[in-house]
Structure 1
Amino acid sequence: MRELVYYVAVSLDGYIAGPAGEFDAFLSEGDHMAAINERFGDTVPTDIADALGVSRDGGMFDTVLMGWNTYAVGLPFGVVSPYRHLRQIVFSRTRTVTGESLEVTAADPVSTVRALKEQEGAAIWLCGGGALAATLADQIDRLVLKRNPVLFGAGIPLFGPRPYAPERFEEVGTTTFESGVVLSEYVRPAAV
């Protein structure tokens, strides 16, 4: 069965973006970049990967899931299909757009993920945002957090509001880089 992997950059105080969706405070240069891009090259937008020569041959992911706000970051720059090398599914009840390898859907995210997990293929990348992550929390098999050495103070939390219901994940690996970025990976205990 395919895994749903929430792979995301996060501040020390638990935010994946600033209040208006800002993410430029996350470190985009440093010793962590080569190592992370080697393993997670599939998560680099198609045009940026092509320009930087980042390989997407790892085959870790073949599908990316996004909420509308996460997806819409590129629209002001004319980027309609940011991850053309992946199947892109964007969840929105009110908006639509068409693009290469892009599907915008009002379908239930949980039902969609359950159906995707039953299909053949590589892992499914949950790109964001926090509200979608909260909706899909029970479906997440693996968390990969790129903790950046920065405090936001406010913004979009790693998980949007959800009821108090502690769930334990097991750490399967942590790498600390000189840049201060810490890459930590966790899985649900049943998946260990």
Structure 2
Amino acid sequence: MRKLKYYIACTVDGFIAREDGSFDCFPMSGEHFADLFEFFPETIPAHVQKALGISPENKQFDAVLMGRNTYEVGLNVGLTNPYPSLKQYVFSRTMETSPDENVKLVSDNPVAFVKELKKEAGKDIWLCGGGNLAATLVSEIDEMIVKLNPVVIGAGIPVFGRAIEPTNLELVDRKIYSNGFMLLHYRLHK
């Protein structure tokens, strides 16, 4: 069965973005980017792939789940199809139509939808964000891969958008970089 992996960047104080959804507080360069590009190339947004002149293969994932706010980060700058090599699903109760034929809208019962998606053949499923969707789907998250950035911002959008049941994590892999960035891979125990 496929796994749902919450692959997310956050600050040391647990935020995935500022309160307005921006994430310019995260370092945009550093030695860790080579590993991220090597191990998770399909998570590079289309406009960055184009700028770099690459079309990476899907090594980890073949589907991506996004909440409306996460999807709108790209949509607000004209990016309707942010991950063209992945099946893209946007969870929203307010969007009536998808701005792109390659992006499927899911409006109800996200947990049931993900349970069915996990049964399908294929690579793992990337939960891209945001915090509210992660809190809704926490019962289905198998692993968390946290890109822990050496910065604090004091307020913003948390990794989980609301309180969840305490969940034990098992650290299965980690890498610490000289710039203070950490890549932490956890398995969730439910």
Letter in 2 for 1:57: E
In 1, the alpha carbon distance for the partners of 2:163 and 2:112 equals 18
Shift of residue 107 of structure 1?
Answer: 2.4
Deviations 1:17-63 (A, max 9, x none): 00000101111100000111100111111231132145522431100
Q: What is the DSSP-based 3-state SS (H/G/I as helix, E as strand, rest coil) of the residue aligned with 1:13?
A: coil
Please state how far the C-alpha of 1:166 moved relative to its aligned partner.
Answer: 1.6
Contact 1:37 / 1:54 at 8 angstroms: preserved in 2?
A: no
Offset at 1:14? 0.2
Give the secondary structure class of the aligned counterpart of 1:33.
helix
Is the 8 Å Cα contact of residues 16 and 157 (structure 2) preserved in structure 1? Answer: yes
Q: CA RMSD in A?
A: 1.4
Aligned equivalents of 2:10 and 2:121: distance in 1?
30
1:29 aligns with 2:29: yes
**Match of 1:130?**
131
Using the size of structure 1 for normalisation, the TM-score is 0.94
Q: What's the % identity of the aligned pairs?
A: 46
For residue 97 of structure 1, report the CA deviation from its aligned partner: 2.2
How many angstroms does 1:3 deviate by?
0.4
Task: Describe the superposition over 1:70-95 as per-residue Cα deviations: whole angstroms up to 9, x where unpaired.
Answer: 00011221111111111110011111
User: May I ask how many residue pairs the two structures share in their alignment?
Assistant: 189
Residues 42-191 of structure 1 mapped to structure 2, 5 A cutoff: 42-54=42-54, 56-95=56-95, 96-163=97-164, 165-189=165-189
The list of structure 1 runs, each at least 4 consecutive aligned residues, that deviate by more than 4 angstroms after superposition, is none
Structure 1 residues without counterparts, runs of 5 or longer = none
TM-score normalised by length of structure 2: 0.94
In structure 2, do the counterparts of structure 1 residues 54 and 32 end up closer, same or farther at CA, with 3 Å as the change threshold? farther
Residue pair 1:84, 1:100 contacting (<8 A) in 2 also: no
Distance across 1 between alignment mates of 2:20 and 2:53: 30
Moved more, 100-109 or 171-180: 100-109
When structure 1 is superposed on structure 2, of 11-20 and 104-113 the one drifting more is 104-113
Query: Does the 8 A contact of 2:64 with 2:87 survive in 1?
Result: yes
The residue that corresponds to 2:38 in the other structure is: 38
State the Cα distance separating 1:162 from its structure 2 match: 2.4
**Counterpart residue identity of residue 4, structure 2:** L
Whether the aligned pair in 2 keeps the contact of 1:109 and 1:136 (CA below 8 Å) is yes
